[in-house]
Homo-oligomer: A and B are copies of this chain.
């Protein structure tokens, strides 16, 4: 509660109702460039879908902006062109868990939820980087849902995929030890980063996984002793992919 209001007070907030720096996107060509990260949406897009995209406005949002929170209503759908958004839930004791991230090519399903059901949901979304997005007003979103088969497919896919992802989250919390969850997270990050060092602080990682900084420090240090990783200020270097894989499979419990 206090965490939320302090954020809202002290940081730049753009309610979806008042997009800042919105401008029309003119030619189709330009659109295709902006949306090249949405291949599943674009490649099969039908006319109705293009209609919607042509009516979208481009909007710039600085890093750290709260896009929605608590009981906020969404008046727009946002397609992210550049940058990324973190969607998370915070606890009354000041801890956090990341639920998922929205990157170019993806939709914020809670944004969708809000648009479809008209229900706000007590969760937060905040830009992690400067962001550029295409803003689609609610009525146009609904109309396109009616008219465009391709858009529909895209929306449905996104929703069901997120759902599976949420099941993974639940089962991690329910069954896996924290060291396992950290190892898996590292593994995944190293995989998509091709082994490049991960830039994150221990307390950020704690907020990612819904735990505390001290626990993360403790477990990362263990991993360093096992020579999976090497720690530096604000960075985690991969030392041995194999050892980390083992740790992430729950083996080598020590």
Contacts and interface: CB of A to CB of B under 8 A. Distances in A.
Assembly stoichiometry (copies): 2
Among A93, A119, A169, A173, max chain B CB count under 10 A is at A173
Interface string A94-124: 0101010000000001101100110101010
Given A116-B156, A116-B157, A145-B152, A170 B166 contact: yes
A146 B48 CA distance: 14
A95 B67 CA distance: 38
Interface residues of A, number: 39
A174 B117 contact: no
Contacts of A121: 164, 167
Contacts of A156: 112, 116, 145, 155-156, 159
A174 B174 contact: no
A92 B177 CA distance: 13
A174 B176 CA distance: 12
Interface string A148-174: 010011011101111110110111011
Nearest to A114: B160
The prevalent SS among residues of A at the interface is helix
A89 interface: yes
Interface string A162-204: 1110110111011100000000000000000000000000000
Given A145-B152, A155-B156, A164 B113 contact: yes
A174 B97 contact: yes
A64 to B, nearest CB: 23
Nearest to A156: B116
Given A155-B156, A166-B167, A167-B99, A174 B113 contact: no
Nearest to A121: B164
B117 A167 contact: no
A133 interface: no
A113 B170 contact: no
A42 B128 CA distance: 43
A109 B169 CA distance: 17
A137 interface: no
Contact of A110 (B149, B152, B153, B163): B163
A253 to B, nearest CB: 14
Contact of A117 (B89, B110, B113, B160): B160
Contact of A93 (B113, B123, B173, B175): B175
